Homo-oligomer: A and B are copies of this chain.
Amino acid sequence: MKVIIVGGVAGGASCAARLRRLDEKAEILLVERGPYVSYANCGLPYHIGGSIENEASLLVATEQMFRAVFAIDCRTNCEVVGINSSKKTVDLKNHLTGEVTTEKYDKLVLSPGAAPIRPPLPGIDLPGIFSVRTVPDAKHIREWLDRDAINTGMNEYSGVNTIAKPKNAVVVGGGFIGLEMVENLIERGLGVTLIEKLNQVMPPLDPEMALVVKRYMEKHGVKVELNDGVAGFRNSTDGMIEVLTESGKVYPAEIVILAIGVKPETELAKMAGLELGKRGGFKVDDQMRTSNPDIFAVGDAVEVKDFVTGEWTLIPLAGPANRQGRIVADVLCGRDSRYRGTQGTSICKIFDAAISQTGVSEKTLKRLGETDYEKIYTYPNSHAGYYPGAKILVIKTIFRKSDGKLLGAQVLGEDGVPKRIDSFAMAIQMGCTIYDLEESELCYAPPYGSAKDPVNFAGMVAADVLKGDMPLIHWGSIGNGFLLDVRNPQELEVESVKGAVNIPLPMLRSRLNELPKDREIHVFCRSAQRSYYATRILLQNGFKVRNISGGTIARSHKVD
């Protein structure tokens, strides 16, 4: 069996290595267009920022290692320029020699990845505008940032060497790479403006959660401009790059990072006559087989089934790419491995905080017209409040109303985020209900958690909602209910809610006569815990009442 694997990062490299382990006799040819195989593209922003100083640290495995350890014919700087799927051949161009050769395959595995989107805007090719995908990209950005420290005569950008040493950056796009670049440019001492066409940063999050992230970035000195697309770029007379937006604004900078998103590289699909899906990625079955049974595709270029919704979608993530590569190797060796879909579990560091999500978002549910769901907002401490260093977590938990099944979770915070998102991720994988979360036994010691872990706590609150113990409402729906604030008077001095009547919780039982029996009471406190107690008191005294999820904290990030 001769297998040609196209693309030597993540999915392709994983496939090649596992295939060799499973089949010592297979002839394996691994080709990579760029100069490196199996490099750590996820580390590029940190290499640019300087926390990963050496480029060599990013090279996980080399061409030589693939040859020596895996007996794989590994070729870098080698691009597929033609596929003849009836003859089962590929044409390979060696970029160093220009030579084109043709190789036969029995099975072909395509792992081309996804390319940064570079819309055909005026000025997009001006020097100083970069995407972040490859090791050379990172090298060019570092050189640009450092450039007044080197001899400009040696500099490939010397044509624009009137531009000052970069002090201002514009990052276009507020997704994972955009946010990581924001952090790393700030880390290098630049002033950074983030421009995002959507109404939020970090698209996998729901907007109200993304608002928390936006404010956090602003607190760290980032200028964040939402709802404004980039219209073009030009050089100003004083040597700046001016970023022009659709709303007519102009942002000058010495460096621009384009991180608008990625799109599947599907040139190879066209060459091989393969079917694409509706979202523009390779269409594959659950064994990663394309419309041609001898050709497989993995990684960021393929459409995957959303594990929760069953929809076909594009979710470019390293973990799934690696696992898909392994599955193809299994399938090529006659094993019945199957890919079970992608949950979208992901995390992003921004300054001291982590932003994470798994499963489905509310906006996806809305887009699908789904109404059989509820959501709760909780703000527990990352660990026991009495132990130093506890931070507030911001958690949104989404679950099915009819059966309590956990559908999605979003967790933000400066401490303990990975612990919680992975608990939720494992829970979703295994079909957990919120009743299971309620009973989960997660690790607890004061430096790491609480006796009721934030994940338990989310399950407990959600179960209270579904069991009818705590009718819920969200700020966007309160309409003309009777607004009851059960916080202490001192708290009102910090933040008061217009139109709310204040009865501190400890006085509630003795002041029930002040409340209406004929209107629905919407009760809140700071985080919805005391108002839950109030809800219970009122319900059992014959009032119509709903607890406002997340209290004034949720209100501050405009939950609706």
Contact = CB atoms under 8 A, between A and B. Distances in A.
Contact of A25 (B452, B460, B540): B540
B321 A451 contact: yes
Interface string A168-188: 000000001000100000000
Contacts of A429: 436, 439-441
Interface stretch (A228-236, A362-370, A383-391): A383-391
Nearest to A534: B69
A349 interface: yes
Interface in A311-331: 317-323, 326
Interface string A483-526: 00000000000000000000001100100000000000000000
A479 to B, nearest CB: 26
A384 to B, nearest CB: 6
A346 interface: yes
A431 B52 CA distance: 39
Contacts of A431: 430
A407 to B, nearest CB: 15
A158 interface: no
Contact of A541 (B24, B58, B438): B24
A22 interface: yes
A453 B322 CA distance: 11
A418 interface: yes
A451 B10 contact: yes
Contacts of A418: 416, 418-419, 443, 448-449
Nearest to A317: B444
A287 B46 CA distance: 52
Contacts of A345: 441-444
Interface of A: 10, 20-25, 40, 42-43, 46, 51-52, 57-58, 60, 68-71, 176, 180, 307, 317-323, 326, 340, 342-349, 354, 356, 358, 384-388, 416, 418-423, 425-427, 429-432, 436, 438-449, 451-453, 455-456, 460, 469, 505-506, 509, 530, 532-533, 536-537, 540-541
Given A58-B386, A436-B429, A69 B533 contact: yes
Contacts of A46: 387, 446
Contacts of A530: 69
Contacts of A455: 422
A22 B532 CA distance: 11
A349 B448 contact: yes
6 contacts: A24-B540, A43-B384, A51-B387, A69-B506, A176-B445, A323-B456
Contacts of A323: 438-439, 452, 456
Given A322-B452, A342-B441, 19 more contacts: A21-B536, A40-B384, A42-B444, A42-B445, A42-B446, A43-B384, A43-B446, A46-B446, A317-B444, A319-B444, A340-B439, A346-B443, A347-B445, A349-B447, A418-B448, A422-B443, A422-B455, A429-B436, A430-B431
Nearest to A430: B430
Given A21-B533, A342-B441, A319 B456 contact: yes
Nearest to A439: B340
Contact of A444 (B318, B427, B442, B537): B318
Contacts of A71: 509
Contacts of A443: 345-347, 356, 358, 418, 421-422, 425
Contacts of A42: 384, 444-446, 451
A438 B20 CA distance: 19
A7 B172 CA distance: 59
A176 B444 CA distance: 12
Nearest to A467: B335
Given A40-B386, A51-B387, A446-B42, A426 B451 contact: no
B537 A24 contact: yes
A499 to B, nearest CB: 25
A509 B70 CA distance: 10
Residue of A51, A319, A358, A416 with most chain B CB atoms under a 10 A cut-off = A319
Contacts of A387: 43, 46, 51-52
B536 A348 contact: no
Contacts of A426: 423, 426-427, 430, 432, 440, 442
A430 B69 CA distance: 38
A386 B57 contact: yes
Nearest to A67: B506
